[in-house]
Amino acid sequence: MILSIVVFTIGVFGFLSRRNIIIMFMSIELMLNAVNINLISFSHYIQDLRGQILAFFVIAVAASEAAIGLAIVIALFRNKATAHVDEIHEMKG
Amino acid sequence: MIQQLFFAYFGCAIVILSILVISMKNPIHSVLWMLLLFFHIASLYLFLNAEFMAAMQVIVYAGGILVLFLFAVLLLNIREEMRINRFIGAWPTGFTFAAGLLAVVILSVRSFVAAPPGIYTIDLIKKETNARALGTLLYTDYLYPFEVASLILLVAIVGAIVLAKRRAKG
């Protein structure tokens, strides 16, 4: 459980601190994986399969999230030719 | 004893690999470390009697998602990426926030109480095989969420194609 928390925190740090948007997506995957580790270890320890079912759905949602996110990155890259979050400031007033 | 050794190795490896993933300068190295990380997580699942989830982890993450990431990384200008600073200017804020979260969650873990054990004991799962028990549960009690998940995947496919498609000329 501590392992899962540590991986989750590393994911949060990576998400908040990296400049490259693709690495930020990888940090999101890291956080989802941490949650999956936690779910599956609890489903082992309390002997219930519901944790594994939930982890299964998390994997499905993570796959679709990665597809959508990378499609957004590609569209963004086509328009702006950058993948750095601090160079995207069109919405700034 | 050997169980604890095994878990210690995988725990340390997973933590170190995830630090490597977010701290590599070259995004391709990051993706490759992540591949190794996913295989370690899959072996941890095997260790927790979740064979089906381990297979899913390897197929979906290592086979699908990482290929997508590698494809997207190829769009980047790697040479320029190696030269510039890889963290944004406000990274101490992110670090403080993450460290605070770690401390709060670890402190709150102490008040954790385990739920009463369920019916799926290890012997039962061994007798029935993991994939079969999971499938039975998935198609009976969790049929509705399963259908919703399939709908989400469909929307993701359509959305990704619409977003990444080039505009037709004229």
Q: Is residue B164 part of a domain?
A: yes
B3 falls within a domain = yes
Q: Tell if the CB–CB gap between A22 and B69 is shorter than 8 Å.
A: yes
Summarize the confidence of residues B115-119 as an average pLDDT: 66
Q: What does the pLDDT look like over B43-52, one tens digit per residue?
A: 888 887 778 8
**CB pair distance less than 8 Å for A70 and B69:** yes
pLDDT of residue B114: 64
A2:B106 CB<8 A = yes
CB pair distance less than 8 Å for A13 and B98:
yes
- Asked, for residue B167, whether it belongs to a domain, the answer is yes
When pLDDT is averaged across residues B137-162 and rounded to a whole number, the result is 85
Q: Looking at the structure, tell me whether residues B74 and B132 fall in a common domain.
A: no
Contact residues, B window 115-144, toward A, CB-based 8 Å cutoff: 115-122, 125, 133-134, 137-138, 142
Q: Do B72 and A22 touch (CB under 8 A)?
A: yes
If asked whether residues B55 and B120 sit together in one domain, one would say: no
pLDDT of residue A2: 57
| Structure confidence at residue B27 (pLDDT) | 78
Do B123 and B80 share a structural domain? no
Domain annotation covers residue B37: yes
Same domain, B170 and B121: yes
The answer, for B11 touching chain A at a CB cutoff of 8 Å, is: yes
Please indicate if any CB of chain A lies within 8 Å of the CB of B18.
yes
Establish if B106 belongs to a structural domain.
no
- Looking at B37, B67, B84, the residue that finishes a domain is B84
In terms of pLDDT, which residue wins out, B105 or A92? B105
Residue B104 lies in a domain: no
Residues B10 and B54 placed together within one structural domain of the fold: yes
Q: What pLDDT is recorded for position A88?
A: 65
Q: Is B159 domain-assigned?
A: yes
Strongest mean pLDDT among A61-75, B82-96, B146-160? B146-160
> B42, B61, B84 — which closes off a domain?
B84
Contact A28, A63 (CB under 8 A): no
Q: Is B80 found in the same domain as B17?
A: yes
Tell whether B14 and B72 lie within a shared domain. yes
Any idea which of A54-63, B63-72, B127-136 has the lowest mean pLDDT? B127-136
pLDDT score, position B170: 46
Look at chain B and report how many structural domains it folds into: 2
- Indicate if B70 and B12 belong to the same structural domain: yes
Is pLDDT above 60 for B131? yes
Residue, of B124 and A16, whose pLDDT is higher: B124
Q: Which domain holds residue B145?
A: 116-170
Q: Go through the domains of chain A in sequence order and give each one's CATH number.
A: 2-87 (1.10.287.3510)
pTM of the predicted model, to two decimals? Answer: 0.77
Same domain, B11 and B75: yes
Final residue in a domain of this structure, among B67, B84, B101:
B84
Report the 3 state secondary structure along chain B: CHHHHHHHHHHHHHHHHHHHHHHCCCHHHHHHHHHHHHHHHHHHHHHCCCHHHHHHHHHHHHHHHHHHHHHHHCCCCHHHHHHCCCECCCHHHHHHHHHHHHHHHHHHHCCCCCCCCCCCCHHHHHHHCHHHHHHHHHHHCCHHHHHHHHHHHHHHHHHHHHHHCCCCCC
The answer to whether residue B67 neighbours chain A at the CB level (below 8 Å) is no
The domain that contains B44 carries what CATH number?
Answer: 1.20.120.1200
Q: CB-based contact (8 Å) between B8 and chain A? A: no
Asked whether residue B96 is domain-assigned, the answer is no
Assess whether B73 and B143 both reside in one domain.
Answer: no
List per-block mean pLDDT (blocks of 10 residues) for chain A, which spans 93 residues: 59 55 77 81 76 84 85 76 64 59
Tell whether B120 and B80 lie within a shared domain.
no
Q: For an interface test with A, give the residue of B10, B21, B129 to mutate (most A CBs within 10 A).
A: B21
Q: Which residue in A13, A18, A52 is closest to B86 by CB distance?
A: A18
A87 near B CB under 8 A? no
Q: Quick one: what percent of chain B has pLDDT higher than 90? A: 0
pLDDT tens column, B16-37: 887 777 777 777 888 888 888 8
pLDDT tens-digit profile of A52-72?
888 888 888 888 888 888 888
Pair (B3, B72) in one structural domain: yes
